[in-house]
Amino acid sequence: MEAYIYDQMLLSHQMQSHPKEFEGKELSAKEEAKTLEDQNENLEHELQALKENLARNKQQEDASRKRLEELKRENNDLAHRVEDPWQRVKDKQRDPCRLINPLRNKTCKPFDKLLLQLIKSTYVNLDSEGYDDMSVIHKVVKPFTVLEMQDMRDRYILDPLYGTILMALDKIDDWDFNVFSVQAALNGDDHASLPFQEKGGALFVTFYALFWKYDLFKKFNIDEQVALNWVSAVEAGYHGNPYHNSMHAADVLHVTHYILSKGGLIERCQLSDKMILSALFSAAIHDFDHPGINNNFHIKTRSHLATLYNDRSVLENLHVSSVFELIKNPAFNILASLSEDQWREVREVVVEMVLATDMGLHGKYVAMMKTRLQERADFLQKDDKILALAMALKMADISNCGRPQEIYLRWSGKISDEFYQQGDRERNLGLACSPFMDRTQPAIAKGQISFMNYIVIPFFEQISELLPNMRVSVDCAEGNKTYWAQNDDS
Ligand code: CMP
């Protein structure tokens, strides 16, 4: 006790005789406390991110477990069939080509018929169509008459499913069309469950609406059932990745439509219906079967796909070739009614468009476009039309950066999640994390600002030279960049 009193008296004496020294000590003690507090806060953020990651991994694990069970069952079936050697010959005769059907034993999702009737009747109706019962284009969904449709709209406009989707589709020609509201009304935005959505999601609905809007069923006499099978399988072929999933495909499909229509591409290049069909087809499939890890990861880890495609546009080759394999099966052959010449041209454009989405080739495409713009090309020659279409899909692919902020922030969160998942896999394999993929060193703001400055804004400006109506994307991207400048997380 005495010693304590003595210490306190000594301390008080020292404080009075050397006040500056004590103020300094107090200040540095406060700074140290603040640093510790910040460190603590950072650790808490990291802990939270890791917990969220664990929860996501759990979701994916559940989904994979379910799929494993299904595969085991299928494998058992196959094992039984293999016991009968003649069965294999019979199977081969029935399916002479390599069939890849992401729906497995189904050919179509059990969609909501009323929903499709409402969508179809928004663009086409009995009175104007002279509806023919036997027509392949009306094989599955019978449109309403104008009067019936008015009545249906009034009845369902407040319905949480039908009303929400009809109202979302009312904006399909606008820059702020929101694929998330379509998805939320149908199945919710739970990325892990997107491949398993029973009745179809945003991609299914956006595709169906746009194919009717452009009247492609009629122009190419496309069998409605086959088209629904095709989009069911394409949607199911997208994985449950945070970003590269079927919602991203729906979003890119919508933006491609915007560039074609309000953006002015159809008019500027005088695009034929064949080219429009190719463009929408390409947008819908452009990331089909994307595994959620990028080309570099495949190349670094010498994966089977990297070897198969010789390290060149590995994923883009996968997307396009898998879908052309899929449509060898007549049940999914949405291009079946095209003549040989039409089919060749559609294939040529689709291959060119999808392969152009490899960001490793971005500089090459920008340079090609720069040359043609400097030469004041009229963009009416076939090669220029294909180049313009490829640029349009490339733009749609990264358009999230130039969308209204609410939409952009959701996508930037999703791409960061997917980047961090790749970073986790790299770390687990003992590899260095790719830039901006290390969740222990978050730098989203820095990554987004660099992406905007070096890639997005110059690219959108170039597209706006060809299509001045696309300047809206530059303005939005500038706004989104400012957001990060004011909300830096690093
Ligand atoms: P991919 O879809 O293969 O091709 C375009 C690429 O652009 C995409 O992969 C991402 O790597 C990248 N990308 C798209 N949007 C963003 C974004 N908001 N931030 C960072 N990178 C993006």
* Same domain assignment for residues 347 and 423: no
Q: Are 444 and 366 in contact (CB under 8 A)?
A: no
Residue 163, pLDDT score: 98
Number of C-beta neighbours around residue 19 at 10 A: 10
Using a 6 Å cutoff on CB, does residue 241 contact ligand 1? no
Work out which ligand 1 atom sits closest to the CA atom of 357.
4
**Distance in Å, CA 106 to ligand 1 centroid:** 32
Residue 48, pLDDT score: 85
CA-nearest of 106, 105, 124, 127 to 116 is 124
Residue 68, pLDDT score: 76
Residue 8: inside a domain:
no
Segments forming the whole domain that contains residue 415: 399-489
Using a 6 Å cutoff on CB, does residue 397 contact ligand 1? yes
Number of domains in the chain: 2
How far, in Å, CA of 476 to CA of 478, rounded? Answer: 5
Using a 6 Å cutoff on CB, does residue 422 contact ligand 1? no
* Same domain assignment for residues 252 and 209: yes
**Average pLDDT for 12-19:** 72
Residue 191: inside a domain:
yes
Residue 186: inside a domain:
yes
Last residue of a domain, one of 346, 370, 398: 398
**Distance in Å, CA 363 to ligand 1 centroid:** 15
How far, in Å, CA of 191 to CA of 247, rounded? Answer: 9
Task: Give the chain's end-to-end CA distance (angstroms, integer).
Answer: 50
Work out which ligand 1 atom sits closest to the CA atom of 315.
3
pLDDT, one tens digit per residue, over 430-464 is: 999 999 999 999 999 999 999 999 999 999 999 99
pLDDT at 159 over 80: yes
* Same domain assignment for residues 323 and 433: no
* Same domain assignment for residues 317 and 421: no
* Same domain assignment for residues 151 and 236: yes
Q: How confident is the model at residue 17 (pLDDT cuts 50, 70, 90)?
A: confident
* Same domain assignment for residues 368 and 429: no
Three-class HEC string of the chain? CHHHHHHHHHHHHHHHHCHHHHHHHHHHHHHHHHHHHHHHHHHHHHHHHHHHHHHHHHHHHHHHHHHHHHHHHHHHHHHHHHCCHHHHHHHHHHCCCCCCCCCCCCCCCCCCHHHHHHHHHHHCCHHHHCCCCCCHHHCCCCCCCHHHHHHHHHHHCCCCCHHHHHHHHCCCCCCCCCHHHHHHHHCCCCHHHHHHCCCCCHHHHHHHHHHHHCCHHHHCCCCHHHHHHHHHHHHHHCCCCCCCCHHHHHHHHHHHHHHHCCCCHHHHHCCCHHHHHHHHHHHHHCCCCCCCCCHHHHHHCCCHHHHHCCCCCHHHHHHHHHHHHHCCCHHHCCCCCCCHHHHHHHHHHHHHHHHCCCHHHHHHHHHHHHHHHHCCCCCCCHHHHHHHHHHHHHHHHCHHHHCCHHHHHHHHHHHHHHHHHHHHHHHHCCCCCCCCCCCCCCCHHHHHHHHHHHHHHHHHHHHHHHCHHHHHHHHHHHHHHHHHHHCCCC
Q: How confident is the model at residue 215 (pLDDT cuts 50, 70, 90)?
A: very high
pLDDT, one tens digit per residue, over 364-380 is: 999 999 999 999 999 99
Q: If you take atom 8 of ligand 1, which residue's CA is the nearest one?
A: 398
Residue 98, pLDDT score: 45
Using a 6 Å cutoff on CB, does residue 400 contact ligand 1? yes
More confident site: 234 or 124: 234
Last residue of a domain, one of 370, 398, 426: 398
Of 238, 318, 359, the residue with max ligand 1 atoms within 8 A of its CB, to mutate for a pocket test, comes to 359
How far, in Å, CA of 283 to CA of 285, rounded? Answer: 6
Using a 6 Å cutoff on CB, does residue 329 contact ligand 1? no
Residue 142: inside a domain:
yes
* Same domain assignment for residues 364 and 378: yes
* Same domain assignment for residues 158 and 191: yes
Q: Is 13 annotated as a binding residue?
A: no
More confident site: 390 or 139: 390
More confident site: 108 or 129: 108
Chain-centroid distance of CA 260 in Å reads: 19
* Same domain assignment for residues 345 and 485: no
Residue 17: inside a domain:
no
Q: Are 230 and 332 in contact (CB under 8 A)?
A: yes
Residue 184: inside a domain:
yes
Q: If you take atom 12 of ligand 1, which residue's CA is the nearest one?
A: 398
* Same domain assignment for residues 376 and 435: no
Q: How confident is the model at residue 138 (pLDDT cuts 50, 70, 90)?
A: confident
**Average pLDDT for 62-82:** 69
Q: How confident is the model at residue 95 (pLDDT cuts 50, 70, 90)?
A: very low
Q: For residue 244, indicate whether it is catalytic.
A: yes
Residue 355: inside a domain:
yes
pLDDT, one tens digit per residue, over 230-268 is: 999 999 999 999 999 999 999 999 999 999 999 999 999
How far, in Å, CA of 287 to CA of 319, rounded? Answer: 6
pLDDT, one tens digit per residue, over 268-318 is: 999 999 999 999 999 999 999 999 999 999 999 999 999 999 999 999 999
Give the pTM.
0.82
User: In this structure, what CATH number is given to the domain that contains residue 286?
Assistant: 1.10.1300.10
Report the percentage of the chain scoring pLDDT > 70: 91
Q: Mean pLDDT in the chain?
A: 91
Last residue of a domain, one of 367, 398, 429: 398
Q: Are 392 and 282 in contact (CB under 8 A)?
A: no
Residue 134, pLDDT score: 60
Residue 483: inside a domain:
yes
* Same domain assignment for residues 412 and 366: no
Q: If you take atom 15 of ligand 1, which residue's CA is the nearest one?
A: 398
Annotated catalytic residue, options 239, 244, 257, 319: 244
Residue 79, pLDDT score: 65
**Average pLDDT for 175-187:** 97
* Same domain assignment for residues 408 and 394: no
Using a 6 Å cutoff on CB, does residue 276 contact ligand 1? no
More confident site: 245 or 99: 245
Q: Could you tell me the two tokens for 268?
A: 């500027």
* Least reliable range by pLDDT among 11-15, 31-35, 303-307: 11-15
